[in-house]
Amino acid sequence: MPLRYALLGLLLVLLPCSARAADPQDAILLAVGVDERLGGRIPADLVFTQSTGKRVRLGDYLGAGPVVLTLNYYTCPMLCPLTFRSLAATMDGVKGLSPAKDYRVVTVSINPDEIPEIAAAKARETHALVAGLDDADDRWPFLYGDADSVRRLTDAVGYRYRKVGSDFAHPTVAIVLSPDGRVSRYLHGIEIPPRDLKLALVEAADGKIGASSAANALLMYCFRYDPAGKKYMLYARNIMKAAGAATAVFLAALLAVLWRRYGGTSGPRWKGN
């Protein structure tokens, strides 16, 4: 076979592959994602507008406990409403911690052309899903702002998204911040287990959250975050160490009881008839 025919056949085989590689949908999927920037600090000076119309700084929500940051947009047809419902259910399942006093959720729209009326409606709709959330606009604010503010925030946390027509392609992740605004943990996916959210909040607050610091310390001792599985897992080594320590304490207590009962003699003293 002449060489030119062989080259032509190879070109015909490769052309469909090249077309697939250049598919715009593939390019969008590659552009969307999360580059985790643990320890990075969000720009506290950024100014946004609350769904109530109030102008606020991101720093207004820092300092009084950890913050769960979500990035969404309020005209999202399906993914964002599902994410809000799921997060509200997860928060309800977290025992011992309350968004009314222990932590905040802050939602920022990635759409710089957000419509205030839609933002307000989305805030009311979501707040209704969370029981006992007094001062809901402060404890779970829905914010929107200009393109520069949105971009500075998303760049700071490594959140990559793309506009597609009138909608946005974006990842689904909750970003847990420490009280001083540093990125502590990324919780990926639509459904976040209540245990993972609680552990992330305790971790971000350095255990200084809820009613019992001792219980928080024990919780963090027994669990570790698995970067591969992107969730918290039981830490077997620490559990074994804790079990060994508990066994040692039990044996020491038992020996102390026996010592007191038998007066330190080499064996039990029996009275004769």
So where are the chain's domains? 30-191
Q: What is the pLDDT along the chain (273 residues), one digit of tens a residue?
A: 454 544 444 444 444 544 444 556 666 667 889 999 999 999 999 999 999 999 999 999 999 899 999 999 999 988 999 999 999 999 999 999 999 999 999 999 999 999 999 999 999 999 999 988 889 999 999 999 999 999 999 999 999 999 998 899 999 999 999 999 999 999 999 999 999 999 999 989 886 665 546 665 655 556 566 677 767 676 544 444 444 545 555 555 556 666 676 665 555 554 444
d(CA 66, CA 35): 21
pLDDT at residue 14, as a whole number: 46
pLDDT at residue 239, as a whole number: 40
pLDDT at residue 131, as a whole number: 87
pLDDT at residue 134, as a whole number: 85
pLDDT at residue 261, as a whole number: 66
Token digits of residue 2: 């002449």
Render the burial of 237-264: b for 16+ CB within 10 Å, e for the rest: eeeeeeeeeeeeeeeeeeeeeeeeeeee
CATH architecture type of domain 30-191: 3-Layer(aba) Sandwich (3.40)
d(CA 158, CA 34): 5
pLDDT at residue 31, as a whole number: 81
How many Å separate Cα 75 from the centre of its chain? 23
Angle CA(203)–CA(155)–CA(140) in degrees, nearest 5?
A: 55
Q: What is the CA radius of gyration of the chain?
A: 27
Which H/E stretch holds residue 160?
Answer: strand 159-160
d(CA 55, CA 53): 7
pLDDT at residue 209, as a whole number: 63
> Whole-prediction pTM value?
0.74
d(CA 68, CA 201): 8
d(CA 127, CA 122): 8
pLDDT at residue 49, as a whole number: 97
pLDDT at residue 214, as a whole number: 61
CA distances (Å), 189 to each of 105, 157, 175, 198, in order?
16, 16, 11, 16
